[in-house]
A and B are shown apart, each in its own frame.
Chain A
Amino acid sequence: MIGWEFPPFLAGGLGIHCLELTTELSRKGVQIDFYMPHMASIEGNRRVADHHKHLRIIEVEADPEVLIQGGPYGGGGRQRGRGYEANFNDAVMQYNERLLNAFDSYDADVIHCHDWITVPAAVELKHRTGKPLVFTVHSTEYDRSAGFFPQNWIINLERLGIHEADAVIAVSGYTRDQLVERFRGDASKIFPIHNGVNYDKLPASVTKDYNKSNRTVLFLSRVSRQKGPIFFMEAARKVLDVDPSVRFIMAGKGEMLPEMIQFAVRNNMMDRMSFTGYVTDAEAFSLFQNSDVYVLPSVSEPFGISILEAMTSGIPTITSKTTGVGEALNHVLKAHYWDTWEMADMILRLLDSRALREELGRNGAREARKFTWDRCASATLDVYRWTADQARRRNNRALPASVSA
């Protein structure tokens, strides 16, 4: 498996996915060699591998160690290479180059790579080793940019991966459709597999008190264009026009936060808004408990683990129709991310009706628990098997007739 991040380093969605997936896969007996870049460690020289026993982690150095000749005064020894370039894109390219030399998993049945970051190395390795390639798309450049100046060279890498891979895993049917339509992917080898949620860290049951209403509406997410914060603000403004007693909270940080604050100021909303900045898990949970509605109007969300995490607390949720997770959820309210009238209407109804909040919240909490990593891993294992099988068949067919004689 070729990845980029892994807890405890840079534990974003991708890292968590890899951790949970590999944990469940190894439980099913799969042996995994996991390649990732070696990042400058905060804890001195402790390696990521030290934290995990269920798989073999190979941290790929940016530069190899250099053997320094001893001089006339002795000395010499080994000098650690430079770290990865500070520039992200350069670092990615460096990593992929280094990976080709560092690769030594020649007994693997399948190569599994994640997102565009690993595509160059993965494709090259597939050609060199002849091993089948599985490519998981967690998000596309279209998703991340929300349609705003997507970077073409990244899209080209994504397209390369989609076409070169023997099997593609998309984190949702919604993403699969994108791959088929935007990248002309071959639908017969694209498999939608939903992510899971680790429920251990989340409350086991709903303890929300629906009778206690603060008339508060919550946005909790990265404040980036992809998550649709501007639509949240627009809907808020419409709600306040009808009912000035409602409060809105925007929790999180991101590059669009200044713009959101400006919007609030310009629209005289500051006395009804709270911008909390970054919140810890405990603070997030407290916000879920004490808010009446959770709104995430994502422009394009390939899956949406954060939606599920919110729902398990029992908070009634409004999300956009362009989310991966929404395709499998009945107990959320869905509106187009741009339809702020509809969202405002839903918010007002939810605030007015305890019955609706409780019904939606409780049923939603129950439904959100059906996304398990075990399910994800089982489906992934099926794709591995299918891929290996297809490869075997191709190899058998490729043998000239005379060989069998």
Chain B
Amino acid sequence: MRLRRLHVFNAPTNVDYWDDGKNKAIFNRVADKCYLPTNKLLLELIEKHDGRFKVAFSLSGTFVEQAQKYRPDVIESFAKLAATGCVEFLSETYYHSLAGLWDNPEEYIEQIREHRELMLKLFNVEPRVFRNTELIYDNRIAKVVEGLGYEAIMTEGTEKILGWRSPNFLYKPSGGSRLKVMLKNYRLSDDVAFRFGNGSWNEYPLTADKYATWLSQAEGQVVNLFMDYETFGEHNWRESGIFEFLRHLPGEVLKHPHMDFATPSEIVSRHEPVGDIEVPHAISWADSERDVSAWLHNEMQHQCFNDLRDLAPSVKALKDPEITHAWRLLQTSDHLYYCCTKWMSDGDIHTYFSPYDSPYQAFINYSNAIQDLKRKVALRLEQQRQRGAALAASR
């Protein structure tokens, strides 16, 4: 969701910080290049392979809101996929937020609940598997998620937590937890998500049969391929051959008798964890560090993160749905991602995603929104207090 260009001067009269024009244009573009054609292809593949091809999705609440507003046909196409029985939907925070990193898990739990309600309403499903924003995970998050009744959680299969061990197995959080952890095989996932279209990669071009062979050579219980859906059609354009690759992939994989496709729930039912993972410091699937530095590396990011978090008591006290919704939308991790200054000395992978000229511009715009929200919350709380006082006085 793109923020409008906000200035200290023309402060908006309400908390509408969003650039509807831009959001609509972007959503339309990605719907036409990615969501619709890929969903259609997946539907064809599921039918072609008689239900042996399986896929899982995690759709954020903000994604769904935009689809409902701009492209309801996208929702319909996901509903069709849901009806096949071969597609599983996961749980995440409604707002794709970093609330999981807050000390107080209350807000985090509420956002997860809001998302559950959405999945039930939309697809009549109750997800059993959880996936946090950007696969951010640590011991505490695992505890909270287990407490909510989920059977499994997904995160990044980084050496930081695995050591020499393979990500192709199920693990569980240390300390007698019943939660099962599915780890992304980042090498094989990134081969498709990042390297597929790179002409200077030594394995270019990646064909479905070559990739299926690699998959067949992997040892373990499961190979988890997690990636942004926009990989298909948006990051990798149609001309790159990504749709052809996807079209042939299930067939090539199923040629190997020891391999098949399964949904996360199926994996969780079939296998038991082979070991513990201990994650005191949060990991994620972002950047080479695979930690949370993409969002919380510099002071500017910390300031925004803290400001939003510290607004929680006031927002809860206000009980104003419009303010609460705006506050939560501002928590979407993208806004902090654009304020990252890490990459500036190295390369510019972050700039591909950022609509701003510089992370400083991003911070200024984001800050303007947050400060404005703070002011409005204070204002409305004061109004409420006055109204309450007037009411009490009139009795």
Q: Which residues of A pack against B, CB within 8 Å?
A: 238, 242, 330-331, 333-334, 341-342, 344-346, 348-349, 352-356, 358-360, 363
Contacts and interface: CB of A to CB of B under 8 A. Distances in A.
Contacts of A334: 357-358
Given A331-B341, A333-B360, 19 more contacts: A333-B358, A333-B364, A342-B7, A344-B8, A345-B8, A345-B9, A345-B368, A346-B364, A349-B8, A349-B367, A352-B367, A354-B299, A355-B303, A356-B299, A356-B363, A356-B367, A359-B341, A360-B360, A363-B344
> Which residue, B8, B303, B360, B364, has most C-beta atoms of chain A within 10 A?
B360
B300 A363 contact: no
Contacts of B302: 355
B298 to A, nearest CB: 5
Contacts of A352: 367, 371
A346 B368 CA distance: 10
A interface, over-half SS: helix
A341 B9 CA distance: 8
Contacts of A358: 299
A349 B8 CA distance: 8
B300 A353 contact: yes
B93 to A, nearest CB: 25
B361 interface: yes
Contacts of A344: 8-9
Nearest to A238: B9
A25 B91 CA distance: 65
B364 A356 contact: yes
A360 B367 CA distance: 15
Interface residues of B, number: 19
Contacts of B9: 238, 242, 341, 344-345
A318 B158 CA distance: 40
A292 to B, nearest CB: 15
A316 to B, nearest CB: 9
Interface in B220-244: none
A346 B361 CA distance: 9
A358 B302 CA distance: 13
22 contacts: A238-B9, A242-B8, A330-B344, A334-B358, A344-B9, A345-B7, A345-B8, A345-B9, A345-B364, A345-B368, A349-B8, A349-B367, A352-B371, A353-B367, A355-B299, A356-B300, A356-B364, A358-B299, A359-B298, A359-B300, A359-B341, A360-B360
Interface string B292-324: 000000111011000000000000000000000
Interface in B66-100: none
Contacts of A356: 299-300, 360, 363-364, 367
A238 B8 CA distance: 11
A161 B344 CA distance: 38
A360 B368 CA distance: 17
Contacts of A348: 8
